[in-house]
Each structure stands twice: as C-alpha cells, then as structure tokens.
Amino acid sequence: MQNKLQDLTDRLYNEGLAKGRKEADQLLEKARQEAQEIVARAQEEAEAIRSEAEKNAADTRTMVEGDLKMAATQTIAALKQQVENMVVAEAVAKPVGVALSDEHFVNDLIAMVVRSFNAANPDGVALEVILPTAAQKELERAGQNEALKCLSEGIEVKHVKGLANGFRIGPKDGGYRLSFTADDFTQLVGEYLRPATKKILFGE
C-alpha cells in the first residue's frame, strides 16, 4: 500500500515536473520568438532612419552645392562688372572731363545743338541753356553769353549751382531737357566701349 502511494506520488511529481518543463520550454520559445521579432523590427526601424538620414544629407548637400555655385557665379559676374566699369571710367572719364572744361568746345557744342533745334523747327523755338555757375565769369569775360543769345532769337542762358560741368538745353516752356554733362558723355561713350572692353578683359 505504501509502495503504491509512493509510486503515485512519484508519478504525479514527475508528470507535474514534466508539464512544468514543457510550459517553461514553451514560454522560453515564445520569449525567443518575441525577442527575434523585436530585434527584427528594431533593425528595420534603424535601417529606415539611416536611409532617411542619408536622403536628407544628400538633399542638403545638393541644395548647398547649388547655392554655392549660384553665389560664385553671381560674385564673378559682379566682379567682372566692377572691373569693366573701372576700366571704361578710366578710359573715358578723364578725356571727357578735359573736353568739357574747354570753353570753346562747350560753346561749339551748344551752338551745334541750338542749330539742330532750329533746323527741326522752322518757326524757331525759344530755348533755355543751363550752364554751371562756376563757368559764369569765364563766359561773361569772353562774351560767350551774348554770343549764345545771338544763335537763336529768344534763347535764354541760366547758371545753376547744381550743375558741375557741361550744359542742359531745352525749350524755354519746359517739358524736357537734353543733358550734356560729363556723366552723360561718359555713360554714352562707355556703352560703345563696353563690348570691346569685355572682350579684351574676359574674352567674352
């Protein structure tokens, strides 16, 4: 009787132990699978993050390279323009300044412009010539103001402080003025010189 009880106890113990081991193995296997799934998901997420980071880095690099190229192109163009302006100004400004400081040249130019107005208007146009105040004494001493007035009936000569050199001319009643200052001539002559200057300097 005692042996049977012992056998039953042993059997129950062994069955319980076996069942416990089986359940433990199942739990362990499930834990392994879940761990593998977690690792796989983590790897996928890490790969996605890495790919996104590489894409963002490549996009940023492309954008920065594009901005740098554009900035370099604009800087070179601006520098070329400055060099071109300096060369043209050096070539033109001094000779123009010398020419417009010559009273005879200025007066011949005024006379030519006045005649052009008269030729275009048979009935004559009352003109106003605006000259620099600085040139007033020299012109009066040379009698040039009166000579200008004789060129066209009704011509009026004015002297203003805001004009450094050259002259402006136009109908006395206003409307428009033709300007013949150093800046005007420099700009005009400079426009003709620019293409040749650009080709000499930059081969363009």
Output the tens digit of pLDDT for each of the chain's 204 residues.
Answer: 566 666 656 665 666 666 767 777 777 888 788 888 888 888 888 888 888 888 988 888 999 988 889 988 898 888 888 888 788 777 777 888 888 877 778 878 888 888 787 666 666 667 888 888 876 666 655 555 555 555 555 677 787 887 878 888 888 777 788 888 888 888 877 787 778 777 777 776
CB 159 within 8 A of CB 135: yes
pLDDT score, position 70? 92
What kind of fold does domain 96-202 have according to CATH?
hypothetical protein PF0899 fold (3.30.2320)
Record the tokens describing residue 46, joined without a space.
């890490």
Q: What is residue 12's predicted lDDT score, i.e. its pLDDT?
A: 58
Compute the Cα dihedral for 23, 29, 31, 33 and give only its sign.
negative
The tokens 């004009």 sit on which residue? 163
Q: Is 203 exposed, middle or buried (0-12, 13-18, 19+ CB in 10 A)?
A: exposed
